[in-house]
Every structure is written in C-alpha cells, then in structure tokens.
Homo-oligomer: A and B are copies of this chain.
Amino acid sequence: MFVTALAEAAGRIQACLEDALADRADQKVVHAMRYAVEGGKRLRGFLVMEGARLHGVGPETSVHAAAAVEALHAYSLVHDDLPCMDDDALRRGRPTVHVKWDQATAVLAGDALQSLAFELLTREALGPAGRRLALVSGLARAAGAEGMVLGQALDIAAETAAEPLTLDEITALQAGKTGALIRWSAEAGALLAGADPAPLGRYAAALGLAFQIADDILDVEGDAGKAGKRLNKDAAAGKATFVSLLGLEGARARAKALVEEAEAALQPYGAEADILQHCARFVIARDM
C-alpha cells in the first residue's frame, strides 16, 4: 500500500521534472541536471503528495511542490558528493555527476537545480499566491544556513573536531541536514490546503530522525550493491553516529520509539493516514 503509493508518486514526480527540463539548451549542465533528478526513493516528494491528499489536494496540484523538493534534494546530493565535500564516486548505483562530467558541471547543475526548485513552487497550478509564497519561504529556510546547509556544515566540522559529537549535537546536526527538508515536505500538503501543518510537522520531526538513525544502521549493516552508494564511511572516518553513540540495539530501539511517536502524531487523521503510518514503519525496516 505504501510501496504502491510511493511508486505512483515517484512516477508522477519524474514526469514533472522531465517536463520542466524539456526543450532546454543542449549543454552538459542541462544533461547533468536531468541525470541528477533521475531515480532515488522520492520519499520527500511522496510526503508532499500524501500530505496533500490527506487535505483533499489532488496529485495534479501537489506534484509541482513534490518535484520542487526533489529538485532541491538532488542539488544537495550533487554538491555533497563533490571532492571538497564527501567525495563520493557512486550515487544511486551510478557515477556521481562530477565523476561522469566534471566538478564545474556538478557545481553549476546543483546551482541550477536549486533555482529550478523555487521556479516550480511559483507555478499557478499550486493555487493561491499566498500559499505558494508560504511554500517558497519555508523551503528557502529549510534549505539555507538555518536548515540543510547548516547541518552539512556541522557535519563537515565534526570531521576535524577534537571530540566526537554528543547525542544532542548529532541530533541537532541531523535536524538540519535531513530533518528540515523532510519536515517541509510533510507540512507542504497542509500549506497547499491552507490547513494547520502542526500534526504533519510533528510526524515529520520524528520520521526524519528515525530515517537518519536507520541510515546509520544501514551504513554499518547494509549491502553497498543494494544501497547504490559507499557504505561504512562514517565509522571509517571515526565520526560519531547514532550507532556509535547508542550501540546497534540502542539505535534500533530509539528508531522504533520515534516511529511510534510519528504514528501518534497522525491520530487526528484517523484511518486516512494509514499510508503515512506504513511509511514510518517502512523507513526503519527498509532494505533499499
């Protein structure tokens, strides 16, 4: 049920992004943008579309906001993979953008994908101007130096810090690095309907942290072939992770408690929120 909804959302999002990037200049930077937005789980875009559906907003409307957050997420991955950042050669089972093309193309493709994200949020199909503007404002904050970029900067600083991060510090880091965008995604559907985003915000805060803990567990236990990226790199770099701080069993227990917290936040929506309930459980059980 969740898997079907995720796949359906992914298909719509991919079509929307391909359409947005059609008829562009025949340049490396445009080819790299198309490549960078292909594949991925589309978890963020799915959250947008499912949160919208819960509020009576259909996919033909919400897909533009879902595509926007996936374009923004894709930009962050392209830049994170750069040699001066995480220096990764593999992403989603394929060469990263700077490996397939070059670093300049990766910087520029990421930059243009961020612009594209904001352009998509201005589309008339998303409804009244005030609501679109709330999405733009929220995404700009979630992406910037008080959200995702701050989290990434803290992550890089942690690599050269004298002491490993504490649990509070790593929680704050992840709230920025992955949490801010996941939260925006979950709240976007409510904003599109002019509804209160607070329940979905609580859901997303717990989900985002559970997702990161699951990622740390996968980093230790996973299969690089299935994950489509290099694994075990945090432990190899001597960086603190939820697993190093809580132990494998402790991390699993914390993720489970967070999933219960996420599920509790969905109570106001009743059975309508079943797919989001499944999503929360799936995130910590994933083998993807």
Contacts and interface: CB of A to CB of B under 8 A. Distances in A.
Interface of A: 24-25, 27-30, 33, 75-76, 79, 82, 84-85, 102-105, 107-108, 110-112, 114-116, 118-119, 121-122, 128-130, 132-133, 136-137, 139-141, 143-146, 149-150, 152-154, 156-157
A118 B116 contact: no
13 contacts: A33-B145, A75-B111, A84-B104, A108-B149, A108-B153, A112-B143, A112-B149, A115-B141, A118-B136, A119-B140, A122-B133, A128-B129, A133-B133
Contacts of A116: 140, 144-145
Contacts of A119: 137, 140-141, 144
Contact of A27 (B27, B107, B128, B150): B150
Pick the most buried of A107, A115, A128, A129: most chain B CB atoms within 10 A of its CB. Answer: A115
A25 to B, nearest CB: 6
A136 B115 CA distance: 10
A90 to B, nearest CB: 20
A27 B111 CA distance: 22
Contacts of A145: 24-25, 27, 29-30, 33, 112, 115-116
A29 B85 contact: no
A102 B82 CA distance: 13
Given A108-B153, A115-B141, 19 more contacts: A25-B145, A27-B145, A27-B153, A28-B157, A29-B145, A76-B111, A82-B104, A84-B103, A107-B107, A108-B152, A108-B156, A112-B143, A116-B140, A118-B118, A119-B141, A121-B136, A122-B137, A129-B129, A133-B133
A104 B156 contact: yes
The 6 A-B pairs of least Cβ separation, nearest first, read A115-B144, A84-B103, A119-B140, A122-B137, A112-B145, A129-B129
A121 B121 CA distance: 13
A122 B136 contact: yes
B149 A29 contact: yes
B140 A115 contact: yes
A277 B250 CA distance: 69
A185 to B, nearest CB: 16
A116 to B, nearest CB: 6
Contacts of A157: 27-28
A122 B140 contact: yes
Contacts of A75: 111
Nearest to A137: B122
Given A30-B145, A116-B145, A150-B25, A107 B85 contact: yes
